[in-house]
Structure 1
């Protein structure tokens, strides 16, 4: 079952689990909503964030979450590029103005740039890991749904 179908099923059943009509009584059709509870719960957990609150469905919430993560990553990259450009300009100006004082300033600037780059890399890695975990959850749920439906 494709990911979109999972989210559509989540949307149709209104949140998953027993409250969404997912009582397990042995039939594959009634087992499916319970298999989707993890995905729906994840979407609904993020709905506590005002930007992610959706009046329509969980699927909108999940897509909005992905868009916000991408936008944040783009903003972080732009900020880092701007900081690096400003630092390079300052260093060039200082080197031209005073060669002796420039050595100390260059060392400080290099240390600051390295720290900023390390922080950005760590943030990006954390975001990638979180997204990967969400994708794995969705795939696991999709496989579980397919297995339940086929069996």
Structure 2
């Protein structure tokens, strides 16, 4: 995972069971291909400058990977939003670029979660939110 890009998304709020019922009613076949957990640590400075600029810096743990993500200011349209996103696994060039977007310049990164949390703390960031999500992947037929 090593991609700087612009993310455009539409998010719908629907309960998982209601979504599966909708697929059945529309005769759309599916199979569950797996479940996984994501743990997101959202960081900011004590003055909340990232939030005030509508930026986000996240460290995500997913499938034994550590992924650093910078999300820029949102452009909101009627049904969607668009924002610059720089995301990369720990050790990648994109992970370094994500840090640079929030003013942190380093030549190399630690290789584990405690190391990246320590680095961010040394630079003045702290965890402001922690979110744990369970995801289920479906394959539509």
Bin for the TM-score computed over the shorter chain: under 0.3
TM-score scaled by structure 1?
0.26
Higher helix share: 1
Considering fraction of residues, name the structure with more strand: 2
TM-score (norm: length of structure 2) = 0.27
Larger radius of gyration: 1
